[in-house]
Chains A and B, each alone.
Chain A
Amino acid sequence: MPQRALARILAAAATLFVVIALSFFLMRLAPGGPFDSERPLDPKIAENLRRIYRLDLPLWRQFLFYLQSLAQGDFGPSLHWRDFSVNELFAHALPISMRLGAEALSVALLVGGALGAIGASTGAGLRQKLGAFAVDAAALIGVILPAFVIAPLMQLLFGLTWRILPVGGWEDGAWRNQILPVATLALPQIAIVARLMQTSLRDVLAEPHIRTLRAFGLPPRHIYAHALRAAILPTLSYLGLAAANLLTGSVIVETIFGIPGMGRYFVDGAIGRDYTLVMGTVVVVAALVIAFNLLVDLAYAWLDPRIAESASR
């Protein structure tokens, strides 16, 4: 088990390294390079850039220096927001994005999980039909109403027509400002989690070992406890992907609701061709997703004894 964890951590580190290298050399492939901007650079920034990127050195040494500054947690100056370093921007933006993401993930897991569990029960009763219908409806909405359609609609309804929630802005994370962004972020994930939970719980309930429990007359409460433990595994392994999806969604949500998070800086940076900022974002985001996947991986092995052993035996 510890061996497996160690191997996983090393693999994650290797993955992060590849991502950093990929983004670094991709930037260098850009026609004209990132630094022959049409606009003249501020001498101070130009100086900083040279310090970080060592443009006079051969490419591989530039990369080593870039790694070194990354290791020291230095992403360099922003090319777009002239007065800030990328670090300063992140220090402000990262907590906001992570808070949004964590809240949306919790909502998705709670609502989606509950919905899926209710929708999994098969039978002819009204309750079962309603449950299955709710999951179908959620899945359909999740597919046909992407975040960038839902968000303006909610702004229109709650912000402009009924005037019960602010249309946008962050205001240091006031709860009223968080409701619409979190709902927008969570909605597609609710659909996916509900569907996953429904199918896996249905599959598990149809498995022979559940039939064994029934054959021994064990109470439904006990049977569901067994089934849920197994049914949660596919949702757990989806979490890694969910984290990536939430980060993608945060790009849209932060843009639409005007929230100063990572996603918005990323888009603004991409439009303003702010290479340092975009590269920094890619590295940070990849690190987040990789770390999250690692946690999920370890949790999975902890929940499913078969996994832990198949690797170490």
Chain B
Amino acid sequence: MSEPPLLEFANLCVSYGGRRIVDEVSFTLARGETAALVGASGSGKSQTALAALRLLPPQVRTSGRVAFEGEDLLSLPERRLNAIRGRRVAMIFQEPMSALDPLFTVGSQIAAVLRLQAGFSRGQALTRAAELLDLVGIDAPKERLSAFPHQLSGGQRQRVSIAMAIACEPDALIADEPTTALDVTVAARILDLLGELRARLGLAMIFISHDLQLVRRLASRVYVMDAGRIVEAGATEAVFCNPQHSATQGLIVAAPSPRARRPDPAPEILRAENLSVAYRRRGGWFAGRSEVKVLDAVTLSLKRGRTLGVVGESGAGKSTLGRAILRLVPASGAICFEGRDIGGLDETGMRPLRRAMQMVFQDPYGALSPRMRIGDIVSEGLLIHEPALSRRARDGRAAQALEEVSIDPARRDRRPREFSGGQRQRIAIARAMILRPRLVVLDEPTSALDRATQMDILRLLRDLQEAHGLAYVLISHDLKTIEAMADDIAVMKNGCIVEQGPAAQILGSPRDPYTRSLMQAAFDTHGGRQDFSSRRC
């Protein structure tokens, strides 16, 4: 305790329109230390970091003290603060696309920091910017200087942000959910980079995340936030192995145990062969048209009452596959549903089949028409498929369907906005179930929900599957969700299935290198699943 802390937060409060979003937050960061601020979305962790560098909108009120080497950043004049921002304390943000100016080249953006904050000349700045890009692992750094942000991938953009952040060799780096917007494998590499830079430059780091698992790799201390307060603090391993507060426990709830294998044979309900979807891209009158294949000759099969897990990163074509199976996007190839080829049916021919095959979507906010009563939303399928039904009978069925997903049927006159995310997802499930389908495509049904709610929804889906003998196509980027639900797994990359087979085989001994990197990123292991299961504590 002899050396004074690099950064000291003391009773920091942030209020917005009378509502406190950060409440009496105090902690310290020593030189070279990495601390993590962890909490669910809306817990105030990002606001804490932004408040430290006075980056919140002007109408937000802050009080308390954030001292950098003893100087209170909250009361420093703007000019003196600017000498600390970027030079001594740097920051990287969650969304690398919007954090960079879309109208300027990445080179000029890095060079601006070097020129204005480190006193480089224009020429020196560009040379140094190229070196920095090289340092953060961007290939052909000299050529990349003249690239615009939109020409880079998400991971590359985040690397550019990191290059900007370390340009002035700061003492501390605040990383605000730096990997949340990225795919798991990319995120893993960005984390490796941050760890490496920390060691090389002796950076102190505040790492902000909603993912406790992620934090475990980097941080030595953890501060768990909930509703604006720090509710639990301590050494990372201690907090992880012995969580005290319910909010901390909520962040590390266990996934439901993997489903037991069911070897008994069941009839095939769905078979897709050589399923392809291509979008035509218009390139103006003379640029010609090019085709982009988002789904490339996918073949799969699903048995009645079973779950096929489709896993892959964003852009892999998973959602397109789900929609193609239900004939919601035009696709080539054969789709057999219960032995019947539905690939060539038109919309009218499809209509009677639609009640047997339903879909549940990712975003529970976008999936319910905001102006309709939830009773009408749930019973819309009846309106289409059982037009003879009286209004009363429909209403009764809607109440039943809501009850089955544990939504109080008395609330069926309410509009979607009055329900929470998890409840809305239940309503969306009720809408699909009211028609008693035999096949349901679940498109990332839990990824917009917080961890605890995710588990509830997965349990509900499992119960419904058992009760009604449903077949699921479960699409997810999250291997843990897949592990909890799937009998078979298909791994997708760039529109193709790179590996598929029984769940135990894929998770236990993945053959494809891509599957292995996915596993590694998801379970933070280098081997198979066993390792993950034993690593609880």
Q: Do chains A and B touch in the complex (CB under 8 A)?
A: yes
Q: Which residues of B contact A313 (CB under 8 A)?
A: 281, 283
Is B279 part of the binding interface, using a Cβ–Cβ cutoff of 8 Å?
no
Q: Which residues of A contact B150 (CB under 8 A)?
A: 305-306, 309
B418 to chain A, nearest CB (A): 29
A177 to chain B, nearest CB (A): 42
A309, B101: Cα distance in complex, Å: 16
Stretch in contact with the other chain, from A74-82, A145-153, A205-213, A236-244: A205-213
* Contact bitstring A285-303, B, C-beta under 8 A = 1, else 0: 0000000000000000001
Q: Which residues of B contact A7 (CB under 8 A)?
A: 284-287
Q: A residues bordering B, Cβ < 8 Å?
A: 3-4, 6-7, 10-11, 122-124, 206-219, 222, 226, 229-230, 303-306, 309, 311-313
A158, B255: Cα distance in complex, Å: 80
Contact check, A217 vs B84: say whether CB atoms are below 8 A apart.
yes
- The number of residues on chain B lying at the interface, defined by a beta carbon within 8 Å of a beta carbon of chain A, is 37
A131 to chain B, nearest CB (A): 15
A256 to chain B, nearest CB (A): 42
Is B419 part of the binding interface, using a Cβ–Cβ cutoff of 8 Å?
no
- Given the interface contacts A222-B116, A306-B150, A312-B283, does A217 sit within 8 Å of B103 by beta carbon? no
The residue that A208 contacts in the complex, of B84, B98, B112, B116, with Cβ under 8 A, is: B98
Contact check, B100 vs A123: say whether CB atoms are below 8 A apart.
no
Q: Which of B133-163 contact A (CB under 8 A)?
A: 148, 150-151, 161
* Contact bitstring B104-116, A, C-beta under 8 A = 1, else 0: 1000000011001
Contact check, A209 vs B99: say whether CB atoms are below 8 A apart.
yes
Contact check, B112 vs A218: say whether CB atoms are below 8 A apart.
yes
A219, B87: Cα distance in complex, Å: 13
A-B complex: 9 closest residue pairs judged by Cβ atoms: A217-B85, A216-B86, A217-B82, A217-B86, A208-B98, A7-B285, A209-B101, A215-B91, A7-B284
- 14 interchain pairs, CB-CB under 8 A: A3-B284, A4-B284, A7-B286, A124-B58, A209-B99, A212-B91, A212-B100, A216-B85, A218-B82, A222-B112, A226-B103, A305-B150, A306-B102, A309-B150
Considering the complex, give the chain B residue whose CB is closest to the CB of A8.
Answer: B284
Q: B residues bordering A, Cβ < 8 Å?
A: 53, 55, 57-58, 81-87, 90-91, 93, 95, 98-104, 112-113, 116-117, 148, 150-151, 161, 164, 281, 283-287
Contact check, A226 vs B104: say whether CB atoms are below 8 A apart.
yes
Contact check, A226 vs B81: say whether CB atoms are below 8 A apart.
no
- Given the interface contacts A217-B85, A226-B101, does A212 sit within 8 Å of B112 by beta carbon? no
Our count of residue pairs bridging A and B at CB distance below 8 angstroms stands at: 102
Contact check, A305 vs B148: say whether CB atoms are below 8 A apart.
yes
Q: Which residues of B contact A303 (CB under 8 A)?
A: 103
Q: Which residues of B contact A214 (CB under 8 A)?
A: 53, 55, 85
Contact check, A215 vs B90: say whether CB atoms are below 8 A apart.
yes
A86 to chain B, nearest CB (A): 34
Contact check, A230 vs B101: say whether CB atoms are below 8 A apart.
yes
A308 to chain B, nearest CB (A): 10
Considering the complex, give the chain A residue whose CB is closest to the CB of B288.
Answer: A3
- Given the interface contacts A208-B98, A219-B116, A303-B103, does A10 sit within 8 Å of B86 by beta carbon? no
Contact check, A311 vs B57: say whether CB atoms are below 8 A apart.
no
Contact check, B117 vs A216: say whether CB atoms are below 8 A apart.
yes
- Given the interface contacts A209-B100, A312-B283, does A215 sit within 8 Å of B82 by beta carbon? no
Contact check, A218 vs B287: say whether CB atoms are below 8 A apart.
no
14 other contacts beyond A211-B99, A218-B112, with CB at 8 A cut-off?
A: A3-B286, A3-B287, A4-B287, A6-B285, A6-B286, A208-B99, A209-B101, A212-B93, A215-B86, A216-B164, A222-B116, A306-B150, A309-B150, A311-B287
Considering the complex, give the chain A residue whose CB is closest to the CB of B105.
Answer: A305
B176 to chain A, nearest CB (A): 10
A207, B99: Cα distance in complex, Å: 8
A303, B102: Cα distance in complex, Å: 11
The residue that B99 contacts in the complex, of A3, A11, A212, A312, with Cβ under 8 A, is: A212
Considering the complex, give the chain B residue whose CB is closest to the CB of A122.
Answer: B58
Contact check, B103 vs A304: say whether CB atoms are below 8 A apart.
yes
Q: Which residues of B contact A212 (CB under 8 A)?
A: 91, 93, 99-101, 161, 164
Considering the complex, give the chain A residue whose CB is closest to the CB of B149.
Answer: A209
A313, B284: Cα distance in complex, Å: 9
Q: Which of B58, B82, B101 has the most CB of A within 10 A?
A: B101
- Given the interface contacts A216-B90, A217-B81, A217-B85, does A206 sit within 8 Å of B117 by beta carbon? no
Considering the complex, give the chain B residue whose CB is closest to the CB of A219.
Answer: B116
The residue that B55 contacts in the complex, of A123, A215, A305, with Cβ under 8 A, is: A215
